[in-house]
Amino acid sequence: MTENVAFEPAAGPQLPVERGCPFAPPAVYDRLREQAPVSRIRLAGGGEAWWVSGHEEARTVLADGRFSSDKRKDGFPLYTLDVATLRQIRSRPPLMINVDGAEHAAARRPVISEFTVKRLAALRPRIQDIVDHFIDGMLAAERRPVDLVQALSLPVPSLVICELLGVPYDDHDFFQSRTSMLVQRNSPEDRRRALAELRAYLDDLVTRKEAEPGDDLFGRQIIRQRQEGTVDHIGLVGLAFLLLTAGHETTANMISLGVVGLLTRPEQLAVITADPDRTPMAVEELLRYFSIADGVTTRIATEDVEVGGASIQAGEGVVVSALSANWDPAAFKDPAELDVERGARHHLAFGFGPHQCLGQNLARMELQIVFDTLFRRIPTLRLATPAEDLPFKSDAVIYGLHELPVTW
């Protein structure tokens, strides 16, 4: 695929652009980072913003409270959103990820205990059972190849998050399809319709949970709110939206990409099959290497700030590229090499600072269990289609695969 990116001295290139290679960032990312770790770009949705492509500079922005996540602020950069969708988002109370400071901490505090390493460790046996169940289904399939996306990558995190939250898994086709629409770059009308339909579904779900709270994350949040006298139905709907959509889409894409990454590099796969204790380290490297949620981290400066030699003025938009930062040779030697023994824990795939991903420990555990179990139970697993011919999600905000035919 050829990139068509025109440079303009004043404003820089127009972004986003599709990945020209399924295993590498767009070439323009390297050119921008080499010129300056913080530079100006033109946005496809209109306007300009600062582009943060260096690893050190990205961490600086994400940790600095002078850069706001609040999409209600005038001038917030439209990187992956269109004006109509932003207007739709602004018509509702903001999600936890779109508020700052004390407001953000207050919204995050009651939920973070649900995602501690200790609490999630108790879920490991159940997640193992879920993974084994879907691999059993693969092995029992009458025909090959099998589409790993539909057979394993998507159903595992979907069922896990449903059980954790208390969402009926029978509804998975509905929320999976709507979430898929939400992350498409080129279908703003579908995105707005999916957003409205998901919110209506979750509004009804939370209403039913409030009438009969169960022993699940939403049930515990409802009981806590009643005890504290802080019942917030709309806030719970927003939390449900955030956790349900983020809780399966990103992990599903990482499972598929991770399998491709390892199958196309048998020497790297051999490291973890020979010593499963190295799988956690391999997961960190795969997260760094693919950096699937690129360009979703947007901010607006609330004060004048200097970062990476650039003077960012109050009211100017900022886009942090996790993909570019995670391929910064100043932070990762030979970043284009997938090295499962690298020790890449300081990657930015889950963000950094106060807004870093709430469910990252759950995602790590799911990925570790899937990779260990899949390659142990099906040691002859291989791609049924050449990697270069696979249908990558180059048109989506969250990178991944539409299908992944495998055989053994």
CATH number at residue 99: 1.10.630.10
Q: What are phi and psi of 406, to 5 degrees?
A: -130, 160
Give the pLDDT score at 7.
36
**How far apart, in whole angstroms, are the C-alpha atoms of residue 390 and residue 405?**
8
Whether the bond into 145 is cis, omega within 30 of 0: yes
Give the pLDDT score at 70.
94
In this prediction, the residues of the chain whose per-residue pLDDT falls under 50 are: 1-9
In a domain, 6, yes or no: no
In a domain, 5, yes or no: no
Cβ–Cβ < 8 Å for 187, 178: no
Q: Is 158 left (phi over 0), alpha (psi -120 to 50) or beta?
A: alpha
In a domain, 353, yes or no: yes
* Residue 151: both structure tokens together: 């057979």
In a domain, 390, yes or no: yes
Cβ–Cβ < 8 Å for 237, 199: yes
> Three-state SS for 41?
strand
Question: How many domains are contained in the chain?
Answer: 1
In a domain, 9, yes or no: no
In a domain, 3, yes or no: no
**How far apart, in whole angstroms, are the C-alpha atoms of residue 100 and residue 87?**
20
In a domain, 8, yes or no: no
- The contacts found for 4-11 with CB under 8 angstroms, 24 or more apart, are 8/42, 10/40, 11/40, 11/41, 11/42, 11/48
Counting beta carbons within 10 angstroms of the beta carbon of residue 80, is it exposed (0 to 12), middle (13 to 18) or buried (19 or more)? buried
Q: Quick one: DSSP state of residue 214? A: -
- Please name the residue that has the structure tokens 């409030």: 210
Closest of 311, 341, 338, 164 to residue 246, by C-alpha? 164
Q: Which domain holds residue 309?
A: 14-407
Closest of 139, 381, 149, 137 to residue 251, by C-alpha? 149
Give the pLDDT score at 184.
78
**How far apart, in whole angstroms, are the C-alpha atoms of residue 167 and residue 388?**
37
In a domain, 4, yes or no: no
Give the pLDDT score at 2.
37
Give the pLDDT score at 11.
62
**How far apart, in whole angstroms, are the C-alpha atoms of residue 297 and residue 69?**
8
Has this prediction a pTM greater than 0.75? yes
